[in-house]
A and B are shown apart, each in its own frame.
Chain A
């Protein structure tokens, strides 16, 4: 028996750690600017910068990081597969493709809705891919290699389609596409933050509410059914909710890879596989990871900035390889 920390205590520690990290992140940046400007108040411009540029960025990083990790956590539980991740399975690229469509072939909409267009498009894209993967993986054996092959195919397909889009797009659209495709939180401002939060927060709460049922699903469809879970309905709800999370994250920040894969793993190693703790733990850890990555992206090459998606992929890629090697050793041995 591995000694695990008390989950409540672990979560409390994580909340505190996230708060501390947020404070630190809010004090760092290209500008020498600390939270103290809020009350020292000799410079209105500095306060404006802190409140309207730095703060939304920090909040958006925690929000998107939490959403990505949570969607990864739900997917891994739903597919009963530790390698399920919105990026690897092609769900993020499905969302990216749909947003690409909305950039290149814009539909005229009233201004209030316009803010939500990328998000709705991303939702349609991510849900479509999720459904395809779900049905393909349910036919026959739910093997790991099959799932990943489907993901590879979908990623390649969406990549090609985005290529076609960038080929037909005009100069301005092309730049918008490539800028956004690298994964960056540079679009952070209060209006996008609120729009994103209005998707992510309710979806996260709903998933937390379903966490016990997600636990029972781990036993197998049949067993879960005998334990009183409406299996089909629960799976559908979870699918839609996680697609919604990916959609909101992708729409605002582009494709940020590997957060959804790495974070639930780490948390599972630490807190165990009970989704009641795994879900909030993943949200908090994901928020911390992306916050750290984004703060690095903002400060490493200051006053310029690097795309945070590149950083997470650089960190996540080796981790993923290590995990594949470990899985093989276990199955071979």
Chain B
């Protein structure tokens, strides 16, 4: 009788520990691992490449192109989906199959990191670990100088063979540059737009950001300066280039504070 009672009391704890979780979104996956829930994850989306252990999980597809059956096939009890996950129909279908779907906020701001950790920790029942992680992130964020620095930064996105694009307003890159207390050199347009030679020269960037993938597709750091107009800019003349990990800088996840701090340090060291 006594043993039964203990078993009964232990039930909810065991149930929480036996949760089978599908994580969708690179930032969500990272946080789930950081909270120590890695062993409860059964699948991830194709943008979840960090940490290394995540890549060993089955891949249910790109986060904007999900399909309900693929997710359900992993027999999850909980789906943690970034707010960017699409189509919503797929997630609705998952939810209507008695799987709990929790949407993790995904706005491009430093505050969002806090919200994301909180949401994941709540869903996984790891609020204590969540608080610790948030403290850690807060202390990292506090080390980023808040004083604005009048440095103009140009973010270039370049993917396999397509024209290089510059980040305008309302992009994650724009938010990251501002979070570092710097200025986006490209003003007056939204989203990512193809770079024009004159536009680049007129924007007068003092520092150029390129993603690691971008450098690879361009064929080396030297080729970055061969992009239209770039050689004629202040950044081009003194070759001020920072290669960034796009998931770290633009994902607004756990690696973002470090990436933004690195950006700030680089800007402060400019001649």
Contacts and interface: CB of A to CB of B under 8 A. Distances in A.
B251 to A, nearest CB: 16
B173 to A, nearest CB: 14
- Which of B67, B90, B98 has most A Cβ within 10 Å? B67
B98 A303 contact: no
B96 A48 contact: yes
Interface size class of B (residues with CB under 8 A): 20 to 34
A29 B71 CA distance: 11
Contacts of A175: 64, 86
B198 interface: no
A303 B43 contact: yes
Given A186-B90, A303-B74, A49 B69 contact: yes
A53 B69 contact: yes
B218 interface: no
Contacts of B98: 44-45, 48
A104 to B, nearest CB: 14
A30 B65 contact: no
A181 to B, nearest CB: 12
A189 interface: yes
Interface stretch (B54-62, B109-117, B180-188): B54-62
B70 A53 contact: no
A331 B268 CA distance: 73
Interface string B233-244: 000000000000
A265 interface: no
Given A179-B65, A186-B90, A303 B71 contact: yes
Given A186-B87, A187-B87, A303-B60, A30 B97 contact: no
B226 interface: no
Interface string A125-162: 00000000000000000000000000000000000000
Contacts of A48: 96-98
Overall SS of chain B's interface: loop
Contacts of B135: none
- Which of B64, B73, B89 has most A Cβ within 10 Å? B73
A29 B90 CA distance: 15
A260 to B, nearest CB: 25
Contacts of B90: 186
Contacts of B65: 179, 186, 305
Contact of B93 (A44, A176, A189, A298): A189
Contacts of B96: 48, 52
A64 B68 CA distance: 20
Contacts of B89: 186-187, 189
Interface size class of A (residues with CB under 8 A): 20 to 34
Nearest to B99: A45
Given A30-B72, A179-B64, A303 B86 contact: no
A304 B62 contact: yes
Contacts, number: 75
A85 B94 CA distance: 37
Interface in A170-216: 171, 175-176, 179, 186-187, 189
A254 to B, nearest CB: 12
Nearest to B191: A171
A304 B93 contact: no
Interface string A36-55: 00000000110011001110
B87 A45 contact: no
Contacts of B87: 176, 179, 186-187
Interface in B68-84: 68-74
A53 B72 contact: yes
A304 B69 contact: no
A304 B70 contact: yes
- Which of B46, B62, B72 has most A Cβ within 10 Å? B72
A189 B69 CA distance: 12
A67 to B, nearest CB: 21
Contacts of B191: 171
B64 A303 contact: no
A219 interface: no
A48 B97 CA distance: 6
A37 to B, nearest CB: 12
Contact of A31 (B59, B62, B72): B72
Shortest 3 CB-CB contacts between residues of A and residues of B? A304-B61, A303-B70, A30-B73
29 contacts: A29-B69, A29-B73, A30-B69, A30-B70, A31-B69, A31-B72, A48-B96, A48-B98, A53-B68, A53-B97, A175-B64, A179-B64, A186-B67, A186-B90, A187-B87, A187-B89, A189-B89, A302-B70, A302-B73, A303-B43, A303-B58, A303-B60, A303-B61, A303-B69, A303-B73, A303-B74, A304-B60, A305-B65, A305-B70
